[in-house]
Structures are given as C-alpha cells and as structure tokens.
Structure 1
Amino acid sequence: MKLKVAALGTIAALALTACGSTTEGTPEGEGAPAESYKVGIATIVSHPALDAVAEGFTEAMAEAGYTEGENLEIDLQNAQGDQSTLTNIANTFASSDYDGFLAIATPTAQALANVIADRPIVFGAVTDPVAAGLMQDWEAPDANITGVSDMNPMDAQLDLIKEVLPEAASVGIVYSSGEVNSEVQVQEAQKAAESRGLEIKTATVTNSAEVQQAAESLDVDAYLIPTDNTVVSAAESLVQVAEQKSVAVFASDESTMERGAAAGLSVNYTQQGKDAAAVLLKMLEGTPASEIPVETQKQFDLFVNEEAAAAQGIELPAAVVDRATKKF
C-alpha cells in the first residue's frame, strides 16, 4: 500500500462490524480470522522509508489473514510535516471507534500517545521511545503503547565513514530541532566520534526547505544523514550541496542511498512495519503493552551507490563494495 495524502476530516466511512464481531462473508474453512479490526495509521510525512513501514504493516496483516475491505479497515492519515495537522489527526483518531493505531515516526507516536489512552498504539520508526517520553523502560512499557525502534548504530556508521575516508576529521549532521529521535542520534554520534578521531558538526532545521542552506553552512569532510524525517524528505537538496563541495554523503536508510548517498547502514523499514503489525495483533488479542518489550533491529544492511560516490568525488573501497547487501 502506497501512502496517500488523506485530507483531514474526510475519514472514510467504516464498512466493517465492530471489534470482536464475526467477519461476514468469509468462506468457512479458509483459515480467516474470526475478528475484524479497524486501524488508524498516522504518519508525520511521506518519504520512502516511512512509506515502507505502512506497506510492511499492511503486508503482514494480510499474511495474518486480515485483508482491507474484508475484515480490516485502515484509515491512513498523513500530516505532511505539519504539527498542527498531526495534532488534529490524533484528536480525530481519539474520538473514533478504531480498535488500534499505528504511529509512524516519533512525532506521530507522541501525538497519538498524548490523546489516546484506552486502546493499543504500536509505533514504528521511533528511535528512542524513552527519550521521546513514550515510556520509562524499553523492556516494560508502562502505558498502552509499544512498538519497533529504528535506532541506528552510530558507532558503526562512523566506522564506515573512516573506512571509506581514512583521513576524514569532521562529519556534518543536519537535523531537525523538533525531532527527539534526531537529537538522540546526534548525541550517540558525538559519543562515538572522539575515539575515532572525528568531530561532529551540526546544523539544525525546522522544515525541509531549510536543509540546503544548513548543509551549505557546514565545512566538513563528510555528511551523515540520520533517520530524521525532515531531512530525509529533502535528501536531494543535501546531496546537491555535497556534490558541489565534493563531499561524500552517508545515510541511515536505504531510500536515501538510492536517492544519492554514497553508502550507509540501513534499517529495514518494511520489516519495521511487519514487526509492528505482529505487535499490534498481540495487543488487540489482549496482551498488555507492559508485556511486549520494544523491538530493535539487530542486523543492518550495508548499501552502496558507486555512481553517487563518484559524483561526490570519491571512490568506494573494493572491500566495502564487495560486502554490500545491495548496490545502486
């Protein structure tokens, strides 16, 4: 399912029976679930990584026997990067009769958690749920929300930068001042940088239109794009600056590698969505969030884009290219 921009206030009419009812019209003996569910999905913005979470969620629900238009109703809402729109979406969801919710990205999870306390919320693409104020303990969530973290291994990302650019002394990170997940990643990068002989230089933005100017303001040997929704949605503008400066770009998600980063370690966002679906089904079936620890990805895919690297004035080492999971 591709993310669609859904206008606020035009939530589709619900054609399914209430939660817990028997699915009508399902042929007997085909193993379809007896329950039908209504799920609200909200995302802060549309870009390929976040789109993949929604797609993975829908795929996993179908694999579990829940098909849109039959025993599953999904209302997908996109705030298009606007916080006030996100707040309105959350309030609309809170007054709905939906059985559960998928919150894609940290700002979305925060918005839904602020107004929905009586039904399950599962998140995907949230970096640090404790820092975001969603819970006090990753292992034992204390409210009605849990999910899947996309915490990226900043130490490994910096090791990759040093492997590609042994003489690099500085790494620039452009990030959104309004995203807690990005602040956490910058802090982790700063912790890992000193022992690797690197200095982290930062520039903050409040919206995607500021990304290009922020990138231009940094005099660095490499750029690293974290899993920051504002910056990822405008990744091309940062890549353009990097090409003009002949500075390599490293990224933390597959879609940004495809759109012009030279290399990076990536979370599998489709899998994030699939894992989130499994978590929500557990909660809908009665398992409390406190018994479902936040899941984290243990393995990260190495992606390389040799054409992009050349445009940025570097050649990727053969050892890096050879072990890449995917080459663009």
Structure 2
Amino acid sequence: MAMAVVLAALVARPVAAADKRVAILLWNAQPRYEQCRQGLLEALKGEGFREPETAFFVEQAYGSRTAVREIAHRFAEGHMDLVVAIGTSAAAAVAEEVKDAPVVFAMVFDPVASGIARDWSSSGNNTTGASSKTSAPKLLDMLRQLTPGKKLGVVYTPGEKNSEAQVRELQALAKEYALEVIALPLASRVEVVSTLARATGAVDAIVLTGSSVVGDVVGQIVALASKARIITATQSEDHVDKGVLVGVTVNPTAVGRLAGEKAAKVLRGARPASIPIEALKTSEVVLNLKTARATGIEVPAALRRAAARVIE
C-alpha cells in the first residue's frame, strides 16, 4: 500500500503545480534572439531550474510593437516569479508593464540609454540583465583597415531604442575618428531602395544597426551596397551570416547564458537591483569574404588574422 502511494506521488509530480513560473518574451524571430533563449535555458537548467519544477511560458512578438505590449501586459497579470525579455524593444515593454515581478533582460544593447535601467551597476528598479553591447571603437578600427573614407552611414530604425543608441554612440565617436556620421533612417522594408540611393555616392561605408526592420532586409541592403562598392559593417553576428562584410559581435548564446546566471540568482531571492548589468567581456571579429569579393574589396591579411570566424 505504501509503495503504491509513493508511485502515485511520483507519477503525479509532472502535472503538479510548478515551484516557479518563468515567462520569456522574444522581440522577434531573428536567429540571435532564439540563440539567446537557448543559452538562457541552458544556464537555468545548469542551476537546477528545469521543467517540471519550473514552468516556462515562451511568447514571440514577431517584431510587432502592439503584440509586444499586449504580451508584456499579459505576463504582468500572470503571477510570474520572473519575466525574461530578449531584445531591447521587448525589455522596454516589459519594464513598463511588469512592476510586481522581477525582470531579467538579454540582448539589450544599452539598457541605460534605452531608459530601462538607471545605471549599469544597479538598475534602481526591478530589472537586471545581460547586454549585447560590443566595442564601437573596435568596429571603426576594423573599417579603417578596409577604407580610408571618412563618411560613415548608419542604417537605423526610428523608435527602436537599441538602433537609436547605436547611432548615438557612433556619432559620439565621430570627432575622435575624424568621421562624418550620416544617419540613414529605415522605418519599413519598402524604404530600402530609397535609403541606399541616398547612401550611394554619399558614404564610404555603412553600419547596419540591430533593428528588426534592418534585420529583415540585410540581404537586400548588402546587395545594393556591394553594387555601389559601399563597405558594410555591423555589431550583430547574424547580419554577417546574411552578408554584411565585417562585424564586431558577441555570441548571442553566451549573452543568454550570462542572463541565465542572473535569472537563477533572482529566482533564489536576490533583488534585481543588487545584481549589476553586464556585457560580455570579449567580442569577436567576423568576416564575410564572399561579400568582400562582390564589393571589390581586398581584405588585409592582418584583418583576416584578427577574425575569429571567416565566411568564405
């Protein structure tokens, strides 16, 4: 009889109420966000937070500002032990909606500039997380090896805070690098041809920021830029995979793992504001030599040696 009770309890455990409820909201379906989610779950599993004891509720906004607000509001009312937001737009929506549960974000380029946190050392609120910020000076150093040109275009999407933050950071470096930084707004996919037409003859290189609109049309931007012999650069690794010539990037899975470590601390009772926000300490140079050849650019041997990954 006693053995039957024990067996019944074991069988019933998977359908029992979970000890922890964790909501995860992804901004869109671009590869870096999914890779980040995988890293997050790996880290949480390693810390002992796994199903069925921990219930995970994953939602995808598919780049919709309406959807991201609706999902964030639903999570706010869902009695979650933790809400994880992946991507700056997702994190901004969650930070605005979720006040009674801790929030951990990931793949947020600059959480302070985006208004999500007050400071990197302490958010001053119910958030903490892992940033996808990489070295803009290092990216400009790579571009110096590819072109002596002094006019840099930056393709960004107005209203996407991470994208706007990247523009501001490059503008702040313009004097130090003797550059003229030209902001090239791209509000929708249909504007790609007109945006690149403005860039042709006006810039020597363009940086593609991490907006969802830019991410959806990377291939088209690269094709038009290569035809005009404009060098393309980025701080997003998946953009290089889609054709951008050079990137100074972070590993999205590693960013997810870092966020997962912070999430585990929060689930054990730590206040998010007591956990510093961090970016990865290392970034990698990634080269796309297919695009270099299509653009007619000779990549110096020193730059090839500096690359952690080369797409032939």
Tell me whether the two structures share a fold, i.e. TM-score over 0.5.
yes
Whether 1:172 and 2:153 are equivalent positions in the alignment is yes
Q: Look up the match of 1:256.
A: 239
- Structure with greater contact order relative to length (CA < 8 Å, sep ≥ 6): 2
Task: Return the match for 2:184 from 200, 203, 207.
Answer: 203
Deviation at 1:162, TM superposition (A): 0.6
Give the 3 Å change call, closer, same or farther, for CA 108–25 of structure 1 in structure 2.
Answer: same
Q: 1:76 aligns with which of 48, 53, 58?
A: 58
SS in 2 for 1:137: coil
Deviations 1:60-104 (A, max 9, x none): 222223334x22322221111111111111111111132211101
**CA deviation after TM superposition for structure 1 residue 192, in Å:** 1.4
201-210 vs 296-305, which deviates more? 201-210
Pairs within 5 Å for 1:201-240? 201-218=182-199, 219-240=202-223
What is the aligned partner in structure 1 of residue 138 from structure 2? 156
What is the aligned partner in structure 1 of residue 270 from structure 2?
287
The Cα RMSD (Å) is 2.0
In 2, the alpha carbon distance for the partners of 1:216 and 1:23 equals 64
| Alpha-carbon spacing, 1:141–1:195, altered in 2? closer, same or farther (3 Å) | closer
Q: Distance in 1 between matches of 2:273 and 2:308?
A: 35
Task: Give the conservation status (yes or no) of the 8 Å contact 2:76–2:101.
Answer: no
Match of 1:267 in 2: 250
Q: Which residue of 41, 50, 56 corresponds with 2:39?
A: 56
- Find the residue that maps to 1:197 and give its secondary structure: coil
Aligned to 2:115: 133
- Determine the C-alpha separation between the residues in 1 that align with 2:12 and 2:49: 13
The answer to whether the 8 Å contact 2:88/2:108 transfers is yes
**Alignment-mate amino acid for residue 244 of structure 1:** K
- Matched AA of 1:48: P
Distance 1:196 1:295, change over 3 A: same
Asked whether the 8 Å contact 1:128–1:149 carries over to 2, the reply is: yes
SS in 2 for 1:293: coil
Native 8 Å contact 2:130 2:258 kept in 1? yes
> Offset of 1:311 from its aligned partner?
1.0
- Measure, in 2, the Cα distance between the counterparts of 1:187 and 1:228: 14
| Whole-angstrom distance in 2 between the partners of 1:212 and 1:38 | 45
- The gaps in structure 2 that reach 5 residues or longer are 1-9
| Deviation sequence 1:13-55 (CA, Å, 0-9, x none) | xxxxxxxxx99758xxxxxxxx842211112211112221111
Q: 1:111 to 1:323 in 2, by over 3 A?
A: same
1:38–1:255 CA distance, 2 compared to 1 (3 A): same
CA–CA distance in structure 1, aligned partners of residues 254 and 192 of structure 2: 28
Alpha carbons 1:113, 1:121 under 8 Å: kept: yes
What's 1:121 paired with? 103
How much identity, in percent, do the aligned residues show? Answer: 29
| TM-score scaled by length of structure 1 | 0.85
1:185–1:285 CA distance, 2 compared to 1 (3 A): same
Superposed, 1:95-114 pairs within 5 Å as: 95-114=77-96
The total of aligned residue pairs comes to: 297
Task: Return the structure number with greater helix share.
Answer: 2
Greater radius of gyration (CA): 2
Conservation of the 8 A alpha-carbon contact between 1:152 and 1:185: no
Q: 1:212 to 1:45 in 2, by over 3 A?
A: farther
